[in-house]
Amino acid sequence: MRQAFRASLLHCLSDPGEDSRPSAHEYFEDGLLLVDDGIVTKAGDAAALLPELDADRKLCEFPGKLIVPGFIDCHVHFPQLDIIGSYGEQLLDWLHRYAYPAEALLADDDYANEVARAFVDELLLNGTTTALVFGTVHAHSADAIFEAAQAHDMRLVAGKVLMDSNCPPELRDDAVSGYRDSKQLIERWHNNGRLGYAITPRFALTSSEAQLAAAGKLAAEHPDVWVHTHLAENTEEVEEIARLFPSRRSYLDVYEHYGLLRERSVFAHCLHMDDTDRKTMAARGGAAAFCPTSNLFLGSGLFDLPAMRAAGIRCGLGTDVGGGTSLSLMKTASEAYKVLHLQEHALPAMRALFLATLGAAEALYLDDCIGNFLPGKEADFVVLDPEASSLTARRARATSSIDEALFALLTLADDRHVAATYVRGVARHSRQQR
Ligand SMILES: [Zn+2]
């Protein structure tokens, strides 16, 4: 199918940095996005492209709307959907009081499938077209999220959690079964259409050394699968890791020792690490998921984006629901701005957009197929409506540049401002259809 989408068009070409380099993005106030069979063929000015349009190309017009690439969530837990916004604890107590009981409910196949479908619907409602997703320890939790994503043709990476110690008995696998189940899931789902598998040890605190070694062996056997885990989120957690692994230089060094730090390794949080860790992570090709709503909500700490980027580490935004408080990457970007503001750093709107799109695609090593509108990329995109609420409509009228308009939108938007979400050129969510 040959399509053309007319609206304002905005996408990033590279990291705009703290000074928001104008050459890092392209903006077409009256733009046209040409899509052939789900693949972008061109993004440009409508005035230049419209006269050349073939009669058989289907034209969709969105006056007053802004099209940006589909948002990419670099770290989120689908089984925690129902405990989002739970009161009062920091990480380790929060896990035991809220997350583990919620995850135990997914022992039930039907419930796991229902939560997975609801989760994917929420992603699309918020303009998210790709995510790197934690399941639970149950192998069928991975089947559930992959099936839910496949039903919408989404590019999604997920995995069954590996955890065999320091957690409730009903949520434990073991080094042998975790390896076996993960391997079977890789064979079933990795590179199955747009789906990819992530070997998913929860964190070094909940895996025995035997399990970490088995995870590393699995990673070595499958160099193109992802590794997805948590790193240095909370100071109490970091102290526990130092106590459990006294011979390792740092928390990151534990993962490196077991072969879990490499390209396509994505570490959520990365709050409490030093420059040696940053250099090592960059050199090995590991990536960081910056999860500001979670880091603030659980009182974990402040992500040092400038230090991470200066070291050359790939970074994208993650919502980390249910520790995070929203599945919206626009709300997440807004909180990221505040986290950096507290550290006397800037986060211009274009850089926030980068972290939610192309930067996230780079963190996931998926920038060859998603993240912006260069020809050949998959046509995953969001139609944003700056006038979806009376307040944002007023605010939009008072802006004089795309940078200012985008900043105000990211700061104020919620899911009402996502008019439609397209996956490979097909509308998978539309407010008009609701
Ligand atoms: Zn997490």
How many angstroms separate the alpha carbon of residue 257 from the centre of ligand 1? 22
How many angstroms separate the alpha carbon of residue 268 from the centre of ligand 1? 6
Q: What is the pLDDT of residues 361-377, one digit of tens each?
A: 999 999 999 999 999 99
Beta strand 426-430 with 418-423 is antiparallel
Which H, E and C letters describe 39-105, residue by residue? EEEEEEEHHHHHHHCCCCCEEEEEEEEEEEECEEEEEEEHHHHHHCCCCCCCHHHHHHHHHHHHHHH
How many angstroms separate the alpha carbon of residue 306 from the centre of ligand 1? 22
Q: How far apart are CA 307 and CA 288, in angstroms?
A: 12
How many angstroms separate the alpha carbon of residue 250 from the centre of ligand 1? 20
* pLDDT surpasses 70 at 413: yes
pLDDT score recorded for residue 119: 98
How many angstroms separate the alpha carbon of residue 301 from the centre of ligand 1? 14
Per-residue pLDDT averaged across 214-242, rounded? 98
How many angstroms separate the alpha carbon of residue 328 from the centre of ligand 1? 16
Per-residue pLDDT band at 432 (split at 50, 70, 90):
confident
Q: What is the pLDDT of residues 387-402, one digit of tens each?
A: 999 999 999 999 999 9
- Among 177, 175, 182, which Cα is nearest to 158's? 182
How many angstroms separate the alpha carbon of residue 411 from the centre of ligand 1? 23
Ligand 1 ion: nearby residues, β-carbon < 5 Å:
268, 320
Average of per-residue pLDDT values in the chain: 97
* pLDDT surpasses 60 at 107: yes
How many angstroms separate the alpha carbon of residue 409 from the centre of ligand 1? 26
How many angstroms separate the alpha carbon of residue 157 from the centre of ligand 1? 15
Enumerate residues 6+ apart whose C-beta is below 8 A from 109: 140, 144
Q: How far apart are CA 64 and CA 288, in angstroms?
A: 35
Q: Where are the alpha helices (DSSP H) in 285-321?
A: 292-297, 305-310
How many angstroms separate the alpha carbon of residue 85 from the centre of ligand 1? 14
Q: What is the pLDDT of residues 335-345, one digit of tens each?
A: 999 999 999 99
* pLDDT surpasses 70 at 296: yes
Token pair in block for residue 413? 């938007």
What's the distance, CA 146 to chain centroid? 16
Per-residue pLDDT averaged across 322-346, rounded? 98
* pLDDT surpasses 60 at 7: yes
Enumerate residues 6+ apart whose C-beta is below 8 A from 270: 231, 232, 281, 288, 289, 290, 303, 308
How many angstroms separate the alpha carbon of residue 59 from the centre of ligand 1? 41
How many angstroms separate the alpha carbon of residue 66 from the centre of ligand 1? 31
Per-residue pLDDT averaged across 73-93, rounded? 96
How many angstroms separate the alpha carbon of residue 274 from the centre of ligand 1? 21
How many angstroms separate the alpha carbon of residue 290 from the centre of ligand 1? 11
- Among 126, 124, 143, 142, which Cα is nearest to 134's? 142
How many angstroms separate the alpha carbon of residue 284 from the centre of ligand 1? 22
How many angstroms separate the alpha carbon of residue 36 from the centre of ligand 1? 37
How many angstroms separate the alpha carbon of residue 79 from the centre of ligand 1? 11
* pLDDT surpasses 70 at 255: yes
Per-residue pLDDT band at 229 (split at 50, 70, 90):
very high
How many angstroms separate the alpha carbon of residue 44 from the centre of ligand 1? 38
pLDDT score recorded for residue 340: 98
How many angstroms separate the alpha carbon of residue 173 from the centre of ligand 1? 19
How many angstroms separate the alpha carbon of residue 29 from the centre of ligand 1? 37
How many angstroms separate the alpha carbon of residue 218 from the centre of ligand 1? 22
pLDDT score recorded for residue 433: 56
How many angstroms separate the alpha carbon of residue 91 from the centre of ligand 1? 10
Residue 273 burial by CB count (10 A; 0-12/13-18/19+): exposed, middle or buried? buried
361 touches 127 (CB < 8 A) = no
How many angstroms separate the alpha carbon of residue 298 from the centre of ligand 1? 11
* pLDDT surpasses 60 at 434: no
